[in-house]
Structure 1
Amino acid sequence: MVEFKPKLSLSALDLAACVYELQKALPARVNGVQALHSRSFSLELYVPNSGARSLVLDARGFMFLTDASTKRVVASQLALSCARLKGLWLRSASQLDFDRVVTLEFSEDYKLVFELVGKGNIVLLKEGRVVSALNYFRVKDRVVEPGSEYTPPPPRGVDLGVSVELKGETLLQALVHAYNCPAELMAEALFRVGVEPSLSPGSVDGDTVGRVKGVCAEIIGGVRGGMLEPNLVFSDGEAVDVHPILFKHQGLRVELRPSFSSAVAEYYEPALKRLLSEEAVEELSGRAKRLLTSAAKSRQAAQESAEKAEALRSMAEVLSQNPLLFELALRAARNKSAAEVSSLMEPLGLNVGEVNGISLVLSFGSASFRFDPRRSAYDNLGSLYDEVKSLRRKHEEALRAAEELERQAKGVSVEADIERKRVLRLSVAHRKWFEKYRWFFTSANKLVIAGRDAQQNQAIVKRYAKQGYTALHADIQGAPLTLLMAESDDQSLYEAAQFAASYSRAWSAGLSAVDVFYADASSVSLQPPAGEYLPRGGVMFHEKNYVRGVTLELSVGFLAIEGEPRLNAWPSAAKVGYTCARIVPGEDDKDSVAKRLLKILRQAGGEYQEYALTLRVDELLPLIPGPSKIVEQT
């Protein structure tokens, strides 16, 4: 087994699978563009007959199609430029040879090129010329600048069909260096052929190298043709890699997923959430700093206006107490006699500046005022007092502006602090194995888990179903396999049944109650009896008992796992956790219910208040089974 390193970027093989799945979803209309962070954005798509999807492009190394909605987090010039794609149709997706370069073609001759070479880049083209890009550069063989004709990056290695001399310390290194083929694929091909990757290149004959290349080509062709087995690779309970096919050489535990995009999303989205929060903190902190800088400038302006107003007021008092001298000075200014003006004004403590037939500038301290010698002393004093009033208004306005900016900065700083805590929560939370499923603890502190999809339903049966546990399923097509992982009692059984019922299709159908059947978990399997058919992803109950008329109702709130707070939903029959609200099937869409629940949770107070402030709507959405109604908040 070769040394394992967690995947930090999708390979060319991964991109081939991404392109295959994306192409199957096209054409799709672009409904919007959202900047997720400084090096990624998502195209919000509408796929006919399928609905809304998001295509995430991250130049750090990831691309996938997801059902999750995305929101703008940061400002991005590239995303702003790509806003012109809104309303256009995404018609096709293609991979450049077998390189890590994907081209998306839109109507009106627009293209978006996704390059995972070098530092990564995303380039928007119109009629083959660069409109905008994440990174602009000019090198010997390639230019990416606005208006330049687009040239794709050069291939990393030669085609698998070409024979070249192998150079390197090991056979794996030599093959990866020579051919345009990812290391993980080459390692898998060596494993399947039975060749040790650490051998020296010179110790392997050409026929063996040919067989290795043949396996690579076969795998590539299969992926391009849709022969996929999407999976996540786990180590110590954490997803550490993602593949479009089953790789045997790594020797780690794998879990299949329904699509490669869903596998990539599951692998990537936790890191994305942390990154989004980190960038949001940075943006909010910068915004708060800019607001405080503006507030300081406003306070400085207010101070200067106050000082000038005070100086001019003092000048006005001096001149008002000596109106005759002021009138004589104005007459001298009309005669352009600067010396005479100085002899009249300087004894009063006023400095004389410009003197001519139409202007007389007097100053007191650091403040000066321009008088009009053609007007009377009375009129000039009126203008001076008006200036004093104007400066005082400016002082008050600048102070109010400063206070408002400081208030805004304080609010933004609070937001940044909340985001900082959110980053910490996402970064250090110690997730338990059961949190990948739907879960809760009964009033008797017994763990109940339920599948989020058909694959998880089957995984629960394979790994955890055993004699003494109780398996449950709502008596309706489209329901999770639910497992009470302890000896059953009447109350725990009903709570588990309510959980199974609430997360079934009965909720979206608007039913208020549904029957739930159950059996000892040992009588549940993935194999139907002879002559019967079990749908793909289905689970077979070989015996059934019933809990009739189970009401659909969930409590939403907080609880702690080994001292760490968690947001969760559980059957309302269970008296556990800190309940903030109860929901039942209704007519309000999930998004609006999630937003209302978020406000309720943030107002809950108590020991979970700080945790509640770090929550977002997207963390509530998975807890809501479908259209709902909030019937009680506590």
Structure 2
Amino acid sequence: MKTMSNVDINAICYELNELLNGARVDKSFQPTKDTVIMRFHVKGTGRIDVVFQAGVRIHTTQYPLDNPKMPPSFPMVLRKHLKGANVISIKQHNFDRVVEIKIKKEKVYTLIIELFSKGNIILLDEEDNIIIPLKRKQWSDRDISSKKEYKFPPKRGINPLELKKEELNEVFKESSTDLIRTLARSGLGGVYSEEIVLRSGIDKKASASKLSDDEIKNIYNIILDIFDPLKDHNISPNIVLKDQNISESSISEKISSNINKPKEDVLPLELKLYEDNNEYKKEHFGTFNEAADEFFSKRVKNEIKGVQESIWAKKVGKYEKRLKIQNETLEGFKKTIEISKEKGDLLYAYYSQIENLLNVIQNARAKEYSWKEIAKTLKDAKKSGMDEAQILESMDKLGNLILDINGKMISIDSKITIPENAEVYYEKAKKAKRKIEGALIAIKNTEKQLKKMEDKRDIAMENVMLPQKRVKKKLNWYEKLRWFVSSDNFLVIGGRDANTNEAVVKKYLDNNDIYLHSDIHGASSVVIKTEGNDVNDNTLKESAIFAASFSSAWSKNYGTQDVYWVNPEQVSKTPESGEFVAKGSFIIRGNRNHIRGVNLKIAVGIVDYEGKRIMAGPIDALKAHTDNYVVIKPGYTKKEAIAKKILHKINKEDIISLDDVVRVLPSGKCDIVDL
């Protein structure tokens, strides 16, 4: 699996430092064992998510991963110390696969991301003591444990951005291996070592210590040339993919087998290694963060799907294995019936011969011959050609015989009659026949269970929440607020917070409009945009439901709430003498028109209003504009979990994202109402 090289990290750190310097840290999440997502707020840009995967990658991401319902301790400690802090700097340590993020709150913290080996993520205090590591590790010279002083790993390899020719001479002089291994082990990695060898024209298997001064000088100049764009930050982020339509034979004709190239890669630089356009497809990006996100997120999707497929394969396989065993058992019963019946019939078919043989044995026993003596006598009789003895295969010391009749080995007891022996076989066949009935019932039940599990698997795999790209959409003015379109086509808007409550009244409340507010502290200012038209009771009722649902009554899990409406001239920001009106609050003067006991229940669906978009509002309003909606009420399920269920139900045309659903839901927990 591709992991970020020293060169990748250098390019990423520069971009992250430019993007996040001064950014505010929001929440941290840990969606998988080795992966942490840290959310930042950048002034003028908004939310930025950065993924840290220990030992693999670090970059901004537009592909949010599912977060566990119960967050692990590591991200909770990050939240405790870093939430609300500001980023001071992001840099690469010594051109190594180590990233340092300095973050200031009351104190200065350092977040270390180690991307070598299996990697680690470590939070340090201002004295560089470890507060908490993602993984505890211990070596002879390093102890990654809480309260221990953090020590960077020993410097490894060369820094191509500060390389001196004398340093390169020393690297080759002390090498005991070939050119390509020497370059790779010096910290340049496999791909860049191959690029250097390709440009130099030197055999990569040549002994590094025997290179001439001219060859070393040539390699030195090539290294400077390759990595020079990093110094000026003039990079060319790209993803390269091997064209699967090109046959291996045609590739081998064009390319020397002396060069090893991966089938796919993400790079901040242009490499001659991939210049053959017929062999590789290349896609360029504006930033290396974008390129890395597309490259690694694609792999994460495949990994998530692979894990889920493996889990369901085990569940389904359990029933498949059981069904196979049951079918084999059924076939065994059928075979037992066939063979047992045939053996019973053969005893009657050879009745006289078997009877004569049994008589001989019984007469011998009457004369007090031992079973051993009888067996020897019968063996001698068989050799002498006695007809009855020809069907005898063997006899044990208890008088049990093995008969060979037409190639069938039949066991009988010489102490009982032929019909009694035959009945033993017929009874065995009957018993197997009775077992067949039970086996068929068991097989039918298992087939039902298997079908049920396969159906569950198919549904589960359809609903596997693969990371979907979070694209920041351009919102219409009303989408930045709470909004819905009534069943009579009136646009109704409401504030999302104190700032937008102010905007709803000061910017959007016109003279002919109607103002509504839930009769509880912590509610949206709601406005019916009448456009000069008369508003009927339906729209008033729907707007009241909207006002009640988008108030603190929802998070308090109320079933109903009172709402009132007034005319615009009754809404004022001017307080009485000695009073203070908080931001987002208003003074209502005059009589209020109350709508009592409004039910808190809304619908969420996709409507066609100036284009297809998600809308949350009263059930009647959604019914009037779409058949594709889900009804919710105050409940006990977190918004993110409900949002996922809603997304699966209504996103049939794949036009909305999880963030879109979360944005329109009321504040507080919800439950879906089964209609």
TM-score under structure 1 normalisation?
0.47
TM-score under structure 2 normalisation?
0.45
Kindly name which structure, 1 or 2, has the bigger radius of gyration based on alpha carbons: 2
